[in-house]
Structure 1
Amino acid sequence: MSTALSPTHLVTVSNAEDGDLSVYHLDAAQARLAPIARTPAGSVVMPQAPTHDGRQLYVATRGTQPTIVGYDIGADGTLTQRFSTPIDASLAYLSVDRAGRLLFGASYGGSRLFVWDAKRVESGDGAPLQFIDRIQNAHSIIVSDDDRYVYAASLGSDRVLFYGIARAGEEAALIARGELATPAGFGPRHLRLAPDGATLYVIGEFHGTILAIPRDPVTGELGEPVESDLAPSIAHLAHGAPRPPAPTSPVIWAADLQVSPDGRFVFATERTANRLITFRVDENRKLHYASCIETEPQPRGIRLSPDGSLLAASGELSTSISLYRVDAATGALTPATRIECGKGANWIEILPLRDA
């Protein structure tokens, strides 16, 4: 007889093809998941952005009429939809600042970055405070923990862009502070800051490696990047290229990355070989290949639990998600459980339950 579940966290998964969110309780001690609900969101639901206090969740849909949808997160993990606001942008990435005031979006097809006032969006006004054009294939946008700086990835131009946030009353705008060129053909996709803010990590969709970029936590300035090793399990693949068109032979197609809370490991997904890859961070912040494991078909999204002991992974061609235990000493992943989700699973979030 299995031990009763003692939920400690909420897990949400975007199911793009089904247009909803799979919602689960997670018992972190037992590494077990239990389904709560399938919550409607909208056609081609993808990026999620929870507020820092864990009380609200924003998601973006990418169907014929793109929207930003907002939910209240109950203390027990239930989601209650509060609004669905049309926007003029299909977003590959959505972020919210720690204050919960500003939303930031990256549009891959539109090659634009956006800034919204969260309260205006909640009231039904989808007009942005600002948009920035000519960010070729913008794929991600993240905010520093002090709410002062924003970083964005331009996959199509091999650039990482750096902005300051200017605020004046109810208005806000991004002010360009600089940019950094990645290796040619790298395809910068997703970004993550180290816990201490002293490194910005960038995954290359087409090289399958990760750049470690030194960062000044005070000024936000970026230094000279250092590229990681290539995992042996994907070394046989050729470098990828922007899609469409789809490649005619197997190529590298990396997607997501996560950084452990202690800053010692970085995890990445590669979709052609269906791999989760662990990198070790050395004392000079350089990344070294550590280990690899096969996972869900075409792994798109991964998320670490807040303490870094568990990692959840989705696959775009799978109707299940997998949960792994993370070895604290080596970063190696061990399968813990697998549970059904919807079609086109992509984005994952793991949030502490407030009543746990």
Structure 2
Amino acid sequence: MSAPTPASFFAIVSNAADGDLAVFRVDASTGRIECIARHPAGEAVMPMALSADGSVLHAATRAAKRTIVTYSVDSRTGGLTRLRTTSIASSLAYLSLTPSGAWLLGASYGEHSVSLYRAVDVHAHAHVEPVQVIDGIEHAHSIVASADGRFAYVASLGSDTVSCYAIVERAADARLELVQTVRVEPGFGPRHLRFSPDGETLYVSSEFRATVAVFARDAETGTLTARSIAPRAPALAHLHDGRARPLAAGSAGAQVDPSTLVWAADIQLTPDGRFVFVAERTTSRLIGYRVTDHGTLEYAGYTDTETQPRGFRIDSGGRFLIACGEQSTHVAVYAIDAGSGALAMLSRCEGGRGANWIEIIPQTQPTPCTTSAEPTH
């Protein structure tokens, strides 16, 4: 009996400098990538949030005109249809959805806050105000909801903390209520968050060291317990710890050459939970970690990638990693070795300028048409 043909998929990349979303198709039998469409979105389009069923995509723009642009997604063709452009007040460095799709969560780095939006309002109105804003979260860089939709976790790069909030829904209303705030090492710079497949572990990337903090997570209470921190990658030994950016003119940080500082970005896990990857922008490398039997992380190697990689994604089958770079106009596809986690480039494709965020949508096959026999009389 022959093995089933692996599913091909679409990769959607937001291009901040071009102000559009590029749609790519990746052939899962070969790893070949091709660009099939470009869709205008808005100046400085950056974070995206995809609904759990892959049918709705939200993208936030961060220029003078701040918006959330909503698209419907055709998973058969990769087509995007713009449904609404909604203006908002905040510049969102991160955008995510609760699993139900009812609530949008945003983190604002410059405004030191997180916000909660009712998705139905974003879909229906030209301008929306958040139903809740929580201020005082220094350089809030990401916010993600747990798989059961009961908790949201926030990384505060400026205060070296990760916070857990309960998502409390009452009728058509919801609120984020603080459950716990935990600290990481001073100077760690927590940036992005990812759950293990079973939801029992939370991984936190360090922008300033490109390491990963590992927390055990209590699914019932949402609380976190520090477990370990991954070792510093030898491939970054020549760099100093990073600092919050932009480096303000006249500050001590402004006197430091940025090319000598670690500047990590996104974090992703393989679907089987065996490997963790972090993007490091100064060296343009993807740093790999292996999850040990004890739940700690050990360094597994690095791969050179597109220049200044901010975002990357792993397909749902765990076979491919797709990476883009803010200073590259190409998008690359890598095969992931299931045993070692090593990456091997398969293909590259011309993309756009300022590429920074990727979402992946499995390609579905058209439903075959069926005809019934004419009734006899």
TM-score normalised per structure 2 = 0.91
Alpha-carbon contact 2:58-2:69 (below 8 Å) kept: yes
Offset, 1:7: 7.3
Alpha-carbon contact 1:7-1:26 (below 8 Å) kept: no
Give runs of aligned pairs for residues 233-272 of structure 1, distance below 5 A. 233-245=235-247, 247-249=256-258, 250-272=260-282
- SS of the equivalent of 2:162 reads strand
Q: Distance in 2 between matches of 1:57 and 1:32?
A: 24
Offset, 1:225: 3.6
Alpha-carbon contact 2:7-2:362 (below 8 Å) kept: no
Q: 2:208 matched to 1:206? A: yes
> Which runs of 5 or more structure 2 residues have no equivalent in the other structure?
1-5, 248-253, 367-377
Offset, 1:154: 0.5
Query: Aligned residue for 2:48?
Result: 48
Offset, 1:103: 0.3
Letter in structure 2 aligned against 1:192: R
- SS of the equivalent of 2:121 reads helix
Query: Aligned residue for 1:61?
Result: 61
Query: Aligned residue for 1:101?
Result: 102
Alpha-carbon contact 1:7-1:25 (below 8 Å) kept: no
- Give the greater-gyration-radius structure (CA): 2
Give runs of aligned pairs for residues 297-316 of structure 1, distance below 5 A. 297-316=307-326
Alpha-carbon contact 2:280-2:309 (below 8 Å) kept: yes
Query: Aligned residue for 2:189?
Result: 187
Q: Distance in 1 between matches of 2:55 and 2:95?
A: 17
Q: Distance in 2 between matches of 1:174 and 1:212?
A: 23
Map Cα deviations across residues 246-289 of structure 1 (whole Å, 9 max, x no partner).
54251100101101111110011111111111100011210000
RMSD: 1.4
Q: 2:367 matched to 1:346? A: no
Give runs of aligned pairs for residues 272-283 of structure 1, distance below 5 A. 272-283=282-293
Q: Distance in 2 between matches of 1:173 and 1:29?
A: 45
Query: Aligned residue for 1:156?
Result: 158
Q: Distance in 2 between matches of 1:332 and 1:142?
A: 27
Query: Aligned residue for 1:330?
Result: 340
Map Cα deviations across residues 183-234 of structure 1 (whole Å, 9 max, x no partner).
1011100000000011100000001110011111222110124110111110
Map Cα deviations across residues 127-173 of structure 1 (whole Å, 9 max, x no partner).
11100000100000000000000000000111101000111111111
Query: Aligned residue for 1:175?
Result: 177
Offset, 1:300: 0.7
Q: 2:134 matched to 1:132? A: yes
Q: Distance in 2 between matches of 1:24 and 1:350?
A: 9
Alpha-carbon contact 1:69-1:83 (below 8 Å) kept: yes
Give identity over the alignment, percent.
46
Letter in structure 2 aligned against 1:248: D
Query: Aligned residue for 1:39?
Result: 39
Offset, 1:8: 2.1
Query: Aligned residue for 2:168?
Result: 166
Q: 2:87 matched to 1:78? A: no
- SS of the equivalent of 1:152 reads strand
Q: Distance in 1 between matches of 2:331 and 2:62?
A: 22
- SS of the equivalent of 1:119 reads helix
- SS of the equivalent of 1:224 reads strand
Query: Aligned residue for 1:111?
Result: 112
Query: Aligned residue for 1:3?
Result: none
- SS of the equivalent of 2:122 reads helix
> Which runs of 5 or more structure 1 residues have no equivalent in the other structure?
1-5
Q: Which 4+ stretches in 1 moved above 6 angstroms?
A: none
Q: Distance in 2 between matches of 1:279 and 1:97?
A: 28
Q: Distance in 2 between matches of 1:146 and 1:50?
A: 16
Q: Distance in 2 between matches of 1:50 and 1:355?
A: 20
- Aligned pair count reads 352
303-312 or 26-35, larger mean C-alpha shift: 26-35
Q: Distance in 2 between matches of 1:298 and 1:17?
A: 14
Q: Distance in 2 between matches of 1:225 and 1:183?
A: 13
Alpha-carbon contact 1:20-1:45 (below 8 Å) kept: yes
Offset, 1:331: 0.5
Alpha-carbon contact 1:20-1:38 (below 8 Å) kept: yes
- SS of the equivalent of 1:348 reads strand
- SS of the equivalent of 1:120 reads helix
Q: Distance in 1 between matches of 2:51 and 2:290?
A: 29
Map Cα deviations across residues 42-69 of structure 1 (whole Å, 9 max, x no partner).
0100011100011010111101011001
Q: Distance in 2 between matches of 1:65 and 1:8?
A: 35
- SS of the equivalent of 1:280 reads strand
Letter in structure 1 aligned against 2:225: G
TM-score normalised per structure 1 = 0.97
